[in-house]
């Protein structure tokens, strides 16, 4: 019996709550390797952002993962790929970038994922293009930067290998954590974090309010939007708080746009 089939005998209970997102993949062999790894370890939700069409169609013939690739979602932007996620991990190395969000090393991933599931959340793991990885703008949609401990002399990994390592870590650790006596009974879902799409909606509304208030020059709008996305993910408001803040800024924007009376 293959090793992978011993590890994942059937689709685990958490399989539907983890999304694997590939941003602009180019190599059909890597795409096929990602799909095969997902099938090996029991993951089923794949989203591909802005793929290179000829190579994407070529990859859909990946041996052993045809069904997974046929059911994969294709989206134009990263924001469109993360609507329901409450905790998004962008993957990458620390060199040469300077991280703008908390850094999580792979061995610490599974406990964080388990805790997010306990409060009714949904996870997304985002992987960047083979050539340069996720951009600074891509990472502004992520709550955490996930790194794989590697030899400093060769810190980067092939896309297919990086996905396989991350999925193996989750598939091997999550069942142990769920069954561990120390973990105790899972709490009832409550205080669920705002979804990525709600945070993007809030970002847009705050940006409109800043423009209406003349907060900064027009040339700063892109930088402000980037900083707002990061700020809201660091603050991690729950769904109820996000709705309240949305209502507040809708009122502020309405007041700012209302014609003034003498």
Within a domain: 152: yes
Within a domain: 57: yes
With vertex at residue 158, the alpha carbon angle to CA 173 and CA 197, rounded to the nearest 5 degrees, is 65
Q: Give the CATH number of the domain where residue 88 resides.
A: 3.40.1280.10
3 state SS for 70-136: HCCEEECCHHHHCCCCCEEEEECCCCCCCCCCCEEEHHHHHHHHHHHHHCCCCEEEEECCCCCCCCH
Residues 82 and 174 placed together within one structural domain of the fold: yes
Most confident of 31-35, 123-127, 217-221: 123-127
Asked if pLDDT for residue 142 goes beyond 60, the answer is yes
More confident residue, 189 or 154: 154
Within a domain: 240: yes
Between the CA atoms of 218, 222, 227 and 228, what dihedral angle is there, to the nearest 10 degrees?
A: 80
| Residue 1 pLDDT | 45
- Report the mean per-residue pLDDT for the chain: 87
Within a domain: 191: no
In degrees and rounded to multiples of 5, residue 78 shows phi and psi of -65, -40
Alpha helices in the chain (DSSP H): 3-7, 28-41, 53-59, 66-70, 78-81, 109-118, 136-139, 159-179, 196-212, 221-235, 239-257
Distance, C-alpha 235 to centroid of its chain: 16
> pTM for the complete prediction?
0.88
| Residue 130 pLDDT | 85
More confident residue, 181 or 149: 149
| Residue 177 pLDDT | 74
Residues 230 and 137 placed together within one structural domain of the fold: no
pLDDT single digits (tens) 68-113:
888 999 999 999 999 999 999 999 988 777 889 999 999 999 999 9
Residues 155 and 62 placed together within one structural domain of the fold: yes
Residues 11 and 115 placed together within one structural domain of the fold: yes
CA–CA dist 134, 125 (Å, integer)? 12
Residues 202 and 168 placed together within one structural domain of the fold: no
CA–CA dist 204, 217 (Å, integer)? 17
Asked if pLDDT for residue 152 goes beyond 50, the answer is yes
Within a domain: 72: yes
Read off the pLDDT of each residue in 174-200 and give the average, rounded to a whole number: 73
8 Å CB contact between 106 and 169? yes
Query: What residues does 21 pair with on adjacent strands?
Result: 47, 126
Distances 178 to 14, 125, 150, 183, 214 between C-alpha atoms, Å:
10, 20, 28, 7, 51
More confident residue, 141 or 178: 141
Residues 27 and 63 placed together within one structural domain of the fold: yes
8 Å CB contact between 122 and 86? yes
Read off the pLDDT of each residue in 53-65 and give the average, rounded to a whole number: 69
% pLDDT > 70, the chain: 87
8 Å CB contact between 127 and 163? yes
In degrees and rounded to multiples of 5, residue 158 shows phi and psi of -60, 145
Number of domains comprising the chain: 2
CA–CA dist 60, 39 (Å, integer)? 14
| Residue 63 pLDDT | 61
| Residue 5 pLDDT | 47
Asked if pLDDT for residue 49 goes beyond 50, the answer is yes
8 Å CB contact between 145 and 92? yes
Residues 162 and 204 placed together within one structural domain of the fold: no
Sign of CA dihedral 72, 29, 151, 97: negative
Within a domain: 230: yes
Residues 79 and 115 placed together within one structural domain of the fold: yes
8 Å CB contact between 74 and 57? no
Residues 171 and 201 placed together within one structural domain of the fold: no
pLDDT single digits (tens) 211-230:
999 998 989 999 999 999 99
Residues 151 and 237 placed together within one structural domain of the fold: no
User: Could you tell me the residue range of the domain that residue 145 belongs to?
Assistant: 3-183
Within a domain: 189: no
Asked if pLDDT for residue 137 goes beyond 70, the answer is yes
| Residue 131 pLDDT | 84
């Amino acid at each position: 019996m293959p090793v992978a089939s011993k590890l994942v005998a059937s689709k685990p209970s958490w399989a539907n709550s983890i999304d694997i997102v590939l941003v602009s993949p180019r190599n059909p062999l890597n795409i096929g390797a990602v799909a095969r790894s997902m099938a090996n370890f029991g993951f089923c939700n794949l989203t591909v952002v802005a793929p290179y069409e000829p190579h994407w169609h070529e990859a859909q013939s990946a041996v052993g993962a045809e069904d997974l690739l046929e059911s994969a979602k294709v989206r134009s932007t990263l924001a469109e790929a993360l609507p329901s996620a409450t905790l998004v991990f962008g993957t990458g190395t620390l060199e040469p970038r300077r991280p703008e969000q908390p850094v999580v090393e792979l061995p610490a991933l599974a406990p964080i994922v388990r805790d997010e599931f306990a409060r009714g959340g949904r996870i997304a793991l985002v992987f960047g293009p083979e050539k340069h990885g996720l951009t600074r703008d891509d990472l502004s949609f992520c709550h955490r930067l996930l790194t794989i401990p590697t030899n400093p002399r060769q810190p980067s990994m092939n896309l297919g290998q990086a996905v396989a390592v991350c999925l193996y870590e989750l598939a091997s650790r999550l069942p142990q954590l769920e069954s561990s006596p120390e973990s105790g009974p899972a709490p009832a879902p409550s205080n669920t974090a705002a979804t990525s799409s709600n945070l993007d909606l809030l970002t847009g509304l705050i940006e409109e309010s800043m423009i209406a208030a003349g907060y900064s020059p027009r040339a700063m709008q892109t930088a402000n939007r980037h900083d707002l996305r990061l700020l809201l993910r660091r603050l991690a408001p729950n769904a109820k708080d996000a709705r309240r803040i949305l209502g507040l800024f809708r009122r502020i924007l309405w007041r700012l746009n209302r014609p003034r009376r003498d």
